[in-house]
Structure 1
Amino acid sequence: MSQKQLATRLFSAAGSDIALPEFASVLRRIKDHEAGTHRPKDPYPLLYSQVFGTTEAKLFETPMPAVAVATDGSATVTITSMDLPWLWEPGLTADAIYGLTRSDLMLDRRQAVKALAVTAGIPLVDPAQRWLAKSSAEPPTVSQSGRIGADEVTQLEETANVFRTWDHSHGGGLARKAVIGQLNEVADFLRDRHPRDITLRLFHVMAQLSKIAATMSWDCGLQTAAQKYYVLALQAAKPAGDRPFGASILASMARQLLYLDQPHDALELVRLALDGVQKTATPRLRSMLHTREAWAYAKLGRLEAFRRATEAAEDAFAEISPSDPDPEWITYFDAAELAGVTGGRYLELSQHKSMYAGDALTFISRACELRERASMRSLALDQIGLALAHLIKGDLDQAAIVGTAATETAAQVQSDRVRVQLRELYVEISTRNDAEVSGLREQIRETLTR
């Protein structure tokens, strides 16, 4: 379409809810956006996505710059936005993380456009299969003391737990740089040689920090960076000998693909995770993996398989015993998380068949009741989902009440996932002229603008 036609459609998408300047001014901005001289700012990304019928991130994707990573002192490995760092040798993994984090720390975020170019299909799924293969290389170690000792590694492990708590509470934002800085330091330690026990613990810390960096990058809208950190976390977990944690990384990679409508690849990764921990997974971990499996089946429209996987998740969760403690990194998956994830899937199904809206309300309401108030990001997602379920059921008054609470919670977190979900709620109520939700519409718009 011509620029004038696009401007006309932007005004049509804006309607009476979004104020735009005069036609000539909008046309000038379109020319600037198309030429790349100015980055589109609110409300233009939302309007463009509505006009073109796709997501904001797909429209404004910019690849991350290539990162040169030293390997053996002479050769280099170039990591681009479409080239995942599949480096299963422990030394190369540490070098890759060091190079990527160093580049990431120097990246000017003001110039970075939110990216959504992720790898899917065979280039992602096939190399991931090597996670189950026997390692052909051992981490370099020495018998004498290294640069750091057991006490310092313990401090790094405690720091990783603190960062994980930050992530669960508020999402990405400023904490992301702190995590990446710490990850860079751990990767630098692993470029030296240490005693075997120290080396393996450092690889485990590096895997945990990489996974946290991935989740925080996702919350900042940096999908390409998130996928790279997930891949490197998986590879760092392999020499650490921690298959259960590797399975949790695969589950996170699958969750990212599910958000990006790649359910077939997500299901492959979840099955790989389940195969890898058949004998070592705790009931809590198995329950979480089955929720990811159920999510993929729901996306694929395989309702019986979805119900079977959901029942498997509930059965596994019922097996959790206080006498068999879980690792710190999986304790986030509690009864609230199980209910929230299950309710979210019923909500997606209800958007095609309203008969599932009642199930969505039941599970998401339970999640909101059980959710710890420190988990602000998850609470915001639950509340937004609950408001959408009330809209589908036609209960506009309750949708407005819950939506107001969701908007207030969303304002307290820095998460692109929450922002996207809040936009979906905004788009849903923007199609309605009901007085009951007019105030909520204005509140969401003000929050998104801020």
Structure 2
Amino acid sequence: MDATTPGSLAAEILEREDLKQALAEHDFAAAFALIKKWGGLSQNRIAVACQLTPSKVSTIISGQQQITSFEVICRIADGLRIPGRMVGLADRPWEVQTDTPEPASRPAQASHLSDEASWRPAKTVDLAAELTRSDLVMDRRAVTRALSGAALFGVALLDSIEGWLQPAPPCTPRCQRGRIGMREVEELEGTARAFRAWDHRYGGGLRRKAVVGQLNEVAGHLEEHQAPNVEHGLFRVMAYLGGTAATIAWDSGLQKQAQSYYLLALRAAHAAGDDAFGANILAGMARQMLYRDRPQDALELVHLARKGASATAGPRLRAMLHTREAWAYAAMGRGAAFRRASGEASEALTNAGTDDEPYWIKYFDEAELAGVTGGRLLEMARKEPKQHAQQAADTIRKAVAQRGTEAGRSHALDTIGLAECHFLMGDVTSAVDLTGQAVAAAARTQSARVRTQLGQLYPYTVDRGASQRIAEARTMIRDLLSS
């Protein structure tokens, strides 16, 4: 087996009862030793295949360290070509891979939307058409391969959105006369609203093609000459759909695709003159940077959003932007700045009414603020559990109580976070109970992000004695993550 391009272990090796038992029990000390003995692989070759260091493999074989990370288990299965069922996983991608050639066309990359791209409305329409048409002709697996790469960071990202602060130039008249009016625009906006609500509750990418298809249709209408009010309405709908497409891609782990749609949505909001929604898109991009451990980039995006929408942002939007700022400060270890920004978010939210802001920001209420703030306190508790774990638990518990199971994805994330808080506090009994609730909540969503967060509970269930309940919690997590 080549160390850099691993092949399958011999069938007679995988059929050995001792190896099958070791893999089923996740006893990788025994499994690696057997693979070395009967598979003829050196320690270094095992390390390279599984993307581990040789010293890490050595400590595993010697029994000094156990594998507790679900991600590492996946890397071992993929690197050594061990069928997923042998380690409690679903079939791995390479087990079901076909030789179907990829379509010739490629989706527009993030750079197509950013490198010296004009902010003229006509260019935004062209970019939308290019991105959605190429996206729609590719199957899901091809899209994943093409668009799961790295997103733009730092100066490259900030330079690409410099035009956000400039006034939108007038649209260039199109030759073909438009055929729709404001009634059709309102219907399209209703569809965009329904897609957003569905994604906010369930997450995942099951309706991605539907959103992209609707976005493509809007781009088609904008390729025709429309009345000014219809044109602005269509750009607003394009921004809404682009934002939803970006969120779906981000929630599914497609970082490059998410950024492509975020940038498109920002340009569409700019063409529509909707500074407030543009700021909301920038907040989404900041969140993406925070999940990619780029807090300084996130902070720059939040400041840009606040500057661009200073005259139009309502209380809820301002509160949400403050929480993004607080998140960045927490990630940077700036505790005082985190507390200040969190206080500003709470203060802004006290001024929020019931009917004074757009539908897309109505979700940001006291429960959402508690969930976001609790999540940041949990991140701090992982480093200093005695100082922050109890406060994190108390804050997240408010979110769980206020929004309930109907919140779908948010409820699942809250419950997972609350379970981890109790593990950090040493309250294993409550932590196990909450883990069961978290697994049940996660199973009701299609969110890859929820499953990633659930995977962070897995290490807490390993090496905690012979408790039957701990073992049951571990099995529940593993069964869901491998499904």
TM over 0.5: yes
Equivalence for 1:445: 478
CA contact (8 A) 1:400 1:440 kept: yes
Corresponding residue for residue 418 of structure 1? 450
- CA-CA distance at 1:115 after TM superposition: 1.5
2:149–2:256 Cα contact (<8 Å) kept:
yes
Classify the secondary structure of the residue corresponding to 1:406: helix
Contact 2:3–2:49 (CA<8 Å) still a contact in 1? no
Of the candidates 109, 126, 131, which is equivalent to residue 80 of structure 1? 109
Once the two structures are TM-superposed, the CA of residue 140 in structure 1 deviates from its matched residue by: 3.3
Give the whole-Å Cα distance in 1 for the aligned partners of 2:202 and 2:315: 27
- Per mean C-alpha deviation after superposition, the further-off stretch among 207-216 and 101-110 is 101-110
| CA spacing shift, 1:192–1:376, aligned 2, 3 Å | same
Correspondence for 1:311: 343
**What CA distance in whole angstroms lies between the structure 2 residues aligned with 1:26 and 1:341?**
50
Matched, 1:160 2:192: yes
Deviation per CA, 1:385-431, whole angstroms, max 9, x where unpaired? 00111100000010111111110110111111111101111133335
Q: Is the 8 A contact 1:143 1:194 kept in 2?
A: no
Other-structure match for 1:47: 73
Pick aligned residue for 1:90 from 113, 121, 127: 121
SS in 2 for 1:174: coil
2-structure distance, mates of 1:31, 1:296: 35
Q: Which of 310, 326, 329 is the aligned partner of 2:360?
A: 329
Structure 1 residue 30 displacement after superposition = 8.1
Give how far 1:205 is off: 0.1
Contact 1:342 1:363 in 2 (8 A): yes
Pick closer, same or farther for the CA change 1:196–1:84 going to 2, 3 Å. Answer: closer
Task: Give structure 1 stretches of 5+ with no counterpart.
Answer: 35-42, 52-59, 70-78
Distance 1:227 1:283 in 2: 26
In the alignment, which residue of structure 2 is the partner of 1:75?
A: none
Aligned to 2:56: none
Instruction: Give the letter aligned to residue 198 of structure 1.
Output: V
Q: Quick one: which amino acid aligns to residue 134 of structure 1?
A: P
- The match for 1:124 among 149, 154, 157 is 157
**Alpha carbons 1:101, 1:180 under 8 Å: kept:** yes
Report the residue type matching 1:441 in the other structure: R
CA distance in 1, matches of 2:271, 2:332: 34
Tell me the alpha carbon deviations over residues 59-88 of structure 1, each in whole angstroms, 9 at most, x when there is no partner.
Answer: x9xxx999679xxxxxxxxx4355543441
Question: How big is each residue's C-alpha offset from its partner over 1:210-256, in whole Å with a ceiling of 9 and x where there is no partner?
Answer: 00000011122211100110011001000101101000000000001
TM alignment of 1:218-367, pairs within 5 A: 218-322=250-354, 324-354=355-385, 355-367=387-399
**Larger deviation: 344-353 or 371-380?**
371-380
Contact 1:294 1:309 in 2 (8 A): yes
From the superposition, tell whether residues 368 and 357 of structure 1 become closer, same or farther in structure 2 (CA, over 3 Å).
same
Q: Identify the match of residue 182 of structure 1 among 203, 214, 217.
A: 214
In percent, how many aligned pairs have the same letter? 46
Larger radius of gyration: 2
**Aligned residue identity for 2:333:** G
Kindly tell me: are residues 229 and 313 of structure 1, through their superposed partners in 2, closer, same or farther at Cα, counting changes over 3 Å? same
Distance 1:179 1:30, change over 3 A: farther
Counterpart selection for 2:244 from 187, 212, 230 = 212
What amino acid maps onto 1:92 in structure 2? K
Q: Is the 8 A contact 1:84 1:119 kept in 2?
A: no
- Note closer, same or farther for the CA distance 1:191–1:175 as it changes in structure 2 (3 Å cut): same
Matches within 5 A, 1:130-145: 130-135=163-168, 137-141=169-173
SS in 2 for 1:351: helix
Question: In 1, distance between residues paired with 2:433 and 2:76?
Answer: 26
How far did residue 192 of structure 1 move? 1.1
CA distance in 2, matches of 1:186, 1:45: 39
Aligned residue for 1:54?
none
Cα 1:15–1:3, aligned 2, differ >3 Å: closer, same or farther? farther
How far apart are residue 433 of structure 1 and its match? Answer: 3.7
Task: Give the counterpart of 1:389 among 401, 415, 421.
Answer: 421
Aligned residues: 415
The change in CA–CA distance for 1:26 and 1:427 in structure 2 (over 3 A counts) is: farther
Whole-angstrom distance in 2 between the partners of 1:26 and 1:194: 69
- Preserved contact between residue 70 and residue 458 of structure 2 (Cα < 8 Å): no
Assess if the C-alpha contact under 8 Å between 1:295 and 1:345 holds in 2.
yes
Deviation at 1:117, TM superposition (A): 0.8
Report the Cα distance in structure 2 between the residues aligned to 1:250 and 1:141, rounded to whole angstroms: 29
RMSD: 3.3
State whether residues 65 and 81 of structure 1, in contact with CA within 8 Å, keep that contact through their aligned partners in structure 2.
no
Per the TM alignment, residue 33 of structure 1 is displaced from its structure 2 partner at its CA by 7.9
- Give the gaps of 5 or more residues in structure 2: 10-18, 51-68, 78-92, 94-101
Letter in 2 for 1:440: A
Residues 155-179 of structure 1: per-residue CA shift (max 9 Å, x gap)? 0010011001110111122211110
Query: Structure 1 length as normaliser, TM-score?
Result: 0.84
User: C-alpha deviations, 1:339-383, integer Å up to 9, x for none?
Assistant: 000000000000011110011101100000011433211111101
Q: Equivalents in 1 of 2:126, 2:297: separation in Å?
A: 28
**Counterpart AA for 1:47:** I
**Residues 16, 162 of structure 1: CA spacing in aligned structure 2 closer, same or farther, 3 A cutoff?**
same
Q: In structure 2, what is the Cα distance between the partners aligned to 1:209 and 1:158?
A: 11
Whole-angstrom CA distance in 2 between matches of 1:252 and 1:162 = 19
